[in-house]
Amino acid sequence: MTTIKDSVHDHIAVEGVAADLLETPPVQRLRRVKQLGTVTLVYPSANHTRFEHSLGVYYLADRALSHLGIEGQQAERVRAAALLHDVGHSPFSHNVEAVIHRKTGKYHDDVHDLLDRGEVARVLTDHGLNTDRVADLVAGDGELGQLVSGELDVDRMDYLVRDAHHTGVPYGTIDHERLVRELRFVDGELVLDEGNVQTAESLLLARALMNPTVYAHHVARIAKSMLRRGAERLLTATNVTASDLRRWDDADLLVRLRQCDETAEYARRLSERDLYKRSVWAERTAVPDELVAADHRDIRTWEHAIADSANVDPDSVVLDVPSEPSMTESTSRVLVNGEVRRLGEQSTLVNAIRAAQRDQWRLGVYAPEDDSDRVGDVAIRELGLDLDGARVRDVRPGIHATLDEFN
């Protein structure tokens, strides 16, 4: 047995298949992939890694299994899946997944392939575990897969607490011990036991509050957009493939960006935090529906049109269109008077949080500081943004501007 001191869960005892998996290259690689990607440019202490998070997920899964009375090979499969759940992630976590998906049709490495070969496969086999069954659990398949990937999964419970701890932001604080303790299976569904509507709401609320403050902070979004642009250019300008890229760690990607003439400037800006600025920061009500639904090709067309009209280099314009807000936590299931109900049907908070998420949604247009004002003026016209009455944040902190102030 190995005991590891953790910043969130204190001492984590790792034994059995998990102890052997710790030393495999795919798991050790997670030491070199930051959990929050570019968020560290906003919160300097947010340097925790996917390795730490995977240990936390393993710990919470082990606690949940104990409370649920699940033992033997079933439990070992879940523990293995919990520790391995992030091994397919690309560098900088989710930040370049969209680039990889456009090239490969997958957002990250195929876990079934990763677990079916090399050291990981050997360890699982040595412990009598079928690699495909473990990979299925990672994907959230089956009854026990809900513990690893689902609306009430231990993955979510760990990352909210861990991300809040390392950023210093209090909004992700949840009672994860109670959440784990109150989990039950009812007719194959993972639910929270009676009297836990508020417990489920806390998970929902924490995620909703962490999103604008941490995960979708404008500086992190700008850096993420620049990283994606650099990764795209790297794949075009070199013989590097998306399959190569998704197996790198953070340092690998930055080094490759520095070594390529076409991407060296992106690497410099990211390394020195010399980021693009917000030219436009538009609310959902100001943005045409067709722009929200635009695909990557359409977005690139708009970027080139804005750059052409503003007379700037095409690489000087980044259009960042988030997807519509979603709230998977609202489908969490709770027992109410002996009946399994979805949280969205039981909680009056859900609709309020949905409205808040829509209010927090922002379209961004980013450009180098010297070009930012000119690009902003052009972008408003080219994108057909209706800013009459809507607010757009100027590049200067704390200032909100109406359409008249931009023109």
DSSP assignment string, 143-188: HHHHHHSSTT-HHHHHHHHHHHHHHT-GGG---HHHHHHTEEEETT
Name the residue among 170, 13, 17 with its Cα closest to residue 79.
17
Per the CB < 8 A criterion, the answer to whether 73 and 197 are in contact is no
Alpha helices in 168-295 (DSSP H): 176-181, 197-210, 218-237, 242-245, 250-259, 264-272, 289-292
Q: What is the pTM of this model?
A: 0.92
pLDDT at residue 403, as a whole number: 30
Domain 2-168: which topology?
Answer: Hypothetical protein af1432 (1.10.3210)
Which structure tokens are listed for 162? Answer: 């861990």
Which structure tokens are listed for 82? Answer: 């919990």
Task: Return per-residue pLDDT of the chain as tens, 407 residues.
Answer: 899 999 999 999 999 999 999 999 999 999 999 999 999 999 999 999 999 999 999 999 999 999 999 999 999 999 999 999 999 999 998 899 999 989 888 766 678 888 888 999 999 999 999 999 999 999 999 999 999 999 999 999 999 999 999 999 998 889 999 999 999 999 999 999 999 999 999 999 999 999 999 999 999 999 999 999 999 999 999 999 999 999 999 999 999 999 999 999 999 999 999 999 999 999 999 999 999 999 999 999 999 999 999 999 999 999 999 998 888 778 899 999 999 999 988 898 998 999 999 999 999 999 999 999 999 999 999 999 987 644 444 443 333 333 333 22
pLDDT at residue 103, as a whole number: 87
Per the CB < 8 A criterion, the answer to whether 392 and 280 are in contact is yes
Name the residue among 55, 49, 54 with its Cα closest to residue 5.
55
